[in-house]
Chain A
Amino acid sequence: MQELTLGQAVNQALREEMSRDERVFIAGEGVGVSIHSGPYGATNGLLEEFGPRRVKDTPVSEAGIAGLAVGASVMGLLPVVEIMFNPFFTIAADQIVNHAAKLRYLSGGKSKFPLVVRVKTGAGIGAGCQHSHNLEAWVAHSPGLKVVMPSTPADAKGLLKSAIRDENPVIFIEDMILHFVPGPVPEGDYTIPIGVADIKKPGRDVTVITWSKMLGAAFKAAGQLEQEGISVEIVDLRTLVPLDETTILESVRRTGRLVVLHEATRTGGFGGEIAALVAEKAFDALKAPIKRITAPDIPVPFSKPLEDFYIPNEISLMDSIRELL
């Protein structure tokens, strides 16, 4: 099987979808000619292959980019637009939260907005808080949007294809560190359904629910704890909205213990939603309190030791799991 980074997997999905369907176009800041060009770039080489009609470099205008997607999609096109970094999403938020998410409802179900907004995110690249702030909970809190956050290159390819073919607005959030991490990716066309979590590692004693880059920390912790005789089940959500409640609840019912692990900050983070769901619907199965491992409630700091402190890791996850047992 081919080995691709997440960035390359996204690139392959875009290339295949653009080849498959003339209605698909991409737009954003430097999706054609980029200040970040490189072999792992998600839109690398697409301008050369599909030309400037379908690969639109835009001005630095996030509201304009998102509005372009809203208007083009209601006319039947399938836009995939890029917001370069998650914190810049705030400038596009009116178009996405007030328009993309709501206009179908406001039309009484008559109009469709089949658009994808790709957003790059995550700490660990030394770019400071205005490039690295994870805001998935913001979009998950806006009914009308679907929210996808892949952790592996193979998932990224299959989920992006589903997102492009979905008739609803989909926010597709890609971690920047994962952009450079290789993994096996099936060749050719396949999709992974939106709204289906994946048990990345089965286990008996505790459920760790996570997504995106934190999957790596979960695997590191699970590997070490295995040697201590603790069996960890890792559930990769992959999609925050719609949420795969069944997989979450079934897993917690099997293990009786839950730790939610996410990189985003704690207060109002999506981990709280998972905890509430389990407390409401599987309280009787719990043998220990629910734990959340998250970033502290601070902006992402720059200095390397500070940034490392910010990002949750396997150490705090292992400590937390040991406390539960």
Chain B
Amino acid sequence: MDNNEQKKLLRMMLLIRRFEEKLVDLSQDPQKLGGMMIVCMGQEAVAAGVGAVLLPEDVIITNHRSHGHLLAKGAEPDLIMAEIFGRRTGYNKGKSGTLHIAVPEVNALCTTTVVGGGIPIAVGTAFAAQYTQKDYVTVCFFGNGASDEGSFHEALNMASLWNLPVIFICENNVYSGAQRMEEHTKVKDIADRAAAYAMRGEIVDGNDALAVYEAVQKARQDCLSGAGPVLIECKTYRWGGHGTADQQLYQPKDEIARWKEKCPIKGLKASLMQAGALTEQEYQQLESDTGKIVEQSVQFAEASPWPDPAEALEDVYA
């Protein structure tokens, strides 16, 4: 990946970080932003790395920690923010909120908060690609906790059996709810579970956007040549709690501090600067640009109308 492409990765990670910092900030005041708030802070490299590979026709199926995935797939910050604010102008007219945003415009077809619930659906969208002989792949995002669900195992078995073009991206952020890896599975690496389904499993540094990009690029080629599916485990860490209301009593402070040292943004910035491809001034400009996009999205959302209560009755049936 050339330096310009890498700078785009950096910019995307910054956009995701700024976007979610703002959400965390706003959600401190329920008058400003009510409801549950779940963010991916510390995990931005996965979203950015995957997003840089995918083409518009590629499909993503994502989970409760979806803001980064959606932004990296090309969804508009304004329309995501308006949806999070519950406004009529949001992607789903306020029906979804932060937890279920679907953006069919960019083939982000399902954001599910049922842990593991999206994995069988990804098999279906990948099956459609094979059935219609179209060249697109499906990427399905889920966490380490989801790999304990029956749906994960049913779906991986079927995807492998039929050689479907689907990339399973496990964002292993160490925790499943409040339970650490060793408390929810004896398996050390989720990627090992691929072997149970005669599928290729791969581990990548989930805090290294370039490593994620390269692994997903190869997996996409494999899928399109009929050598899919692939399971990629991205080892990363959730800086915050499950949601903003989580006190994080179970997360050691020194552990969080260690992972913050491995910040995906800090890492890519340092490597670009070391290569002489990025100046501090350019970096400041990226920070400022992405900050402005986020500020503008909040203004758009706040200025947008609420839905009329009767609109709750619409969109149930086609």
Minimum CB distance partner of A91 in chain B: B150
Minimum CB distance partner of A73 in chain B: B124
Is A95 in contact with chain B by the CB < 8 A criterion?
A: yes
Cβ A108 vs Cβ B125 within 8 A: no
Identify which of A53, A71, A99, A168 contacts B123 (C-beta below 8 A): A71
Minimum CB distance partner of B161 in chain A: A59
Cβ A108 vs Cβ B95 within 8 A: yes
Total interface residues on A, using CB and 8 Å?
41
Is A58 in contact with chain B by the CB < 8 A criterion?
A: yes
Cβ B114 vs Cβ A112 within 8 A: no
Which of the segments B104-112, B225-233, B241-249 contacts the partner chain? Answer: B104-112
Cβ A72 vs Cβ B316 within 8 A: no
Cβ A77 vs Cβ B120 within 8 A: no
Identify which of A59, A67, A91, A167 contacts B121 (C-beta below 8 A): A67
Identify which of A94, A103, A108 contacts B151 (C-beta below 8 A): A94
Minimum CB distance partner of A68 in chain B: B124
Given A59-B157, A167-B318, does the pair A71, B126 have CB atoms closer than 8 Å? yes
Identify which of A95, A103, A108 contacts B120 (C-beta below 8 A): A95
- With both chains docked as a complex, state the minimum distance between the C-beta of A126 and any C-beta of chain B, in angstroms: 29
Distance A203 CA – B210 CA, assembled complex (angstroms): 75
Identify which of A58, A64, A77, A110 contacts B128 (C-beta below 8 A): A77
Distance A95 CA – B151 CA, assembled complex (angstroms): 9
Cβ B318 vs Cβ A64 within 8 A: no
Cβ A106 vs Cβ B102 within 8 A: yes
Question: Which residues of B have CB within 8 Å of A73?
Answer: 124
Question: Which residues of B have CB within 8 Å of A63?
Answer: 120, 150-151, 154-155
Distance A25 CA – B112 CA, assembled complex (angstroms): 25
Is B262 in contact with chain A by the CB < 8 A criterion?
A: no
Interface readout for B109-135 with A: 1 if CB under 8 Å, 0 if not?
111101001011111111111011000
Question: Which residues of B have CB within 8 Å of A69?
Answer: 124
Cβ B92 vs Cβ A107 within 8 A: yes
Interface readout for B178-193 with A: 1 if CB under 8 Å, 0 if not?
0000000000000000
Question: Which residues of A have CB within 8 Å of B110?
Answer: 70, 74, 99, 103
Cβ A112 vs Cβ B318 within 8 A: yes
Question: Which residues of A have CB within 8 Å of B111?
Answer: 106
Identify which of A53, A64, A79, A146 contacts B154 (C-beta below 8 A): A64
Interface readout for A39-77 with B: 1 if CB under 8 Å, 0 if not?
000000000000001000011010110111111111111
Q: Which of B61, B104, B120 has the most C-beta atoms of chain A within 10 angstroms of its own C-beta?
A: B120
Is B175 in contact with chain A by the CB < 8 A criterion?
A: no
Cβ B316 vs Cβ A95 within 8 A: no
Cβ A107 vs Cβ B316 within 8 A: no
- With both chains docked as a complex, state the minimum distance between the C-beta of A119 and any C-beta of chain B, in angstroms: 17
Distance A59 CA – B155 CA, assembled complex (angstroms): 10
Cβ A108 vs Cβ B127 within 8 A: no
Question: Which residues of B have CB within 8 Å of A114?
Answer: 318
Given A67-B119, A76-B128, does the pair A98, B114 have CB atoms closer than 8 Å? yes
Is B256 in contact with chain A by the CB < 8 A criterion?
A: no
Minimum CB distance partner of A115 in chain B: B124
Is A144 in contact with chain B by the CB < 8 A criterion?
A: yes
Distance A73 CA – B131 CA, assembled complex (angstroms): 12
Given A59-B158, A98-B112, A105-B95, does the pair A67, B316 have CB atoms closer than 8 Å? no
Question: Which residues of A have CB within 8 Å of B121?
Answer: 67, 70-71, 74, 95, 99
Is A109 in contact with chain B by the CB < 8 A criterion?
A: yes
Minimum CB distance partner of B150 in chain A: A63
Question: Which residues of B have CB within 8 Å of A110?
Answer: 92, 102, 104
Distance A69 CA – B316 CA, assembled complex (angstroms): 18
Cβ A77 vs Cβ B122 within 8 A: no
Q: Which of A58, A72, A91 has the most C-beta atoms of chain B within 10 angstroms of its own C-beta?
A: A72
Q: Which 6 A-B pairs have the closest CB atoms?
A: A71-B124, A67-B120, A109-B315, A75-B128, A108-B92, A64-B154
Chain B contacts to A: CB under 8 angstroms: 59, 61, 90-96, 100, 102, 104, 109-112, 114, 117, 119-129, 131-132, 138, 150-151, 154-155, 157-158, 161, 314-318
Sample (14) of A-B pairs whose CB atoms are under 8 Å apart: A64-B120, A71-B61, A74-B110, A74-B125, A75-B59, A75-B129, A77-B127, A103-B110, A104-B316, A106-B102, A108-B91, A109-B318, A111-B102, A144-B317
